[in-house]
Structure 1
Amino acid sequence: MNPQKRETLKRLLEDRVVIVARGLPPEVLLKIGEALVTGGLGCLEITLDSPDGVRTIERLTRTFGDRLVVGAGTVLDEKAGRAAVDGGARFLVSPGRIPGARGLGGDGATVLIPGAFTPREILDAVHEGADLVKVFPISLGGPRYLAELRGPLPHIHLMVTGGVTPESALEYLRRGAAIVGIGRAVLEDQAIARGDFVAITERAAALRRSLAGV
């Protein structure tokens, strides 16, 4: 395995939380990056429907280096995925299949996390080269559904997103999720609107503490 991919996977699986930022401008995302790192969280997904998403990934990577593992989300086509990889994204996330997935990693350095929901879709994703599989939207099935999936698929690392809160994150991890993806429950709209990034740091730190015993 490529050393960078190995290190990225290690960080993702150790942190167990990816914060998902959608539709936010670059300057706000730089402040969010600092708030998350200060609060003890080190993995951030920038969705490519955000303004200047790829350029923001470049800036975050340059600014924070290894303190923050930055990836691209909502990767809907191969062109977008390649642009994100070229911009420094260390992982790619999609709500479904990642077109051209096998070639997107270039030298194999990029972690691929396509989306799926059913056991067949999860297995198809693995056969197509997934390193992790995102179960989305997990809110349709909840923790019990995740536990059922884990029964026949204990060898596959699953990331759950879609309506996950700091409170439910604990239960998903207990039921077998490798990683939880959380967005507005940490990146709270009102805090961002008033420029209160201390509140984001506090939310990040509280989440980190709550998951420490899992």
Structure 2
Amino acid sequence: MEGNLSKALWLGVSILLFIAVVTIGLSIFGGMKEVSSLANDKVGSIAQSLAEEEFRMYDGKEVRGDDVLSALGSFSGRSGDVIVMVATLGNNSGNPINLDPSANTGLGANYTKYISNTTGTLSVDNRCIILSAGSGSLLTGHSKTVIDAARRDAENPNLTSKYINPSGKFISYLIYDENLKIRGVIFAQTE
């Protein structure tokens, strides 16, 4: 009888130990789930910052025409996600464009759209250029053939309305969507 009592005690202790280990494991897992979720959020924000970093060099800066052409090349693989809008002297009757979001000027100029197309409208909100979607999607993609043809036109001095003079001076700003996500760059030729 003493052997059965000993076995019953060992079985009871084993069951209690098992329950304790499972409880500890579940509480640790629950805590790790929160830590994992927080880590995923941090990684997401870091990835977003890195994705936007390539645009920051164009935020309110004066650049040369060869920088504009370089931007067309570097963003060419992101059709449907990024738009580059360029106003040249040739496309605006030879007049320099005074693009200044803080003064709400320059958005009415004639801009050529590269990389992607949009039917949206540009506006200024809190010194940011906002691209608002019309009835359709905000940006629509172009095929690689169309993007390459537009790039060739931008480099062709015989097409004065589309020509981007590599030595010309441009002012550049970022284009945001209504959620303040960077969607592209706008360039306006000043001389």
TM bucket by the smaller chain? Answer: under 0.3
Question: Which structure: greater helix fraction?
Answer: 1
- Name the TM-score, length of structure 1 as normaliser: 0.23
Question: Which structure: greater strand fraction?
Answer: 2
Q: Greater relative contact order: 1 or 2 (C-alpha under 8 angstroms, separation 6 or more)?
A: 2
Rg: which structure is higher?
A: 2
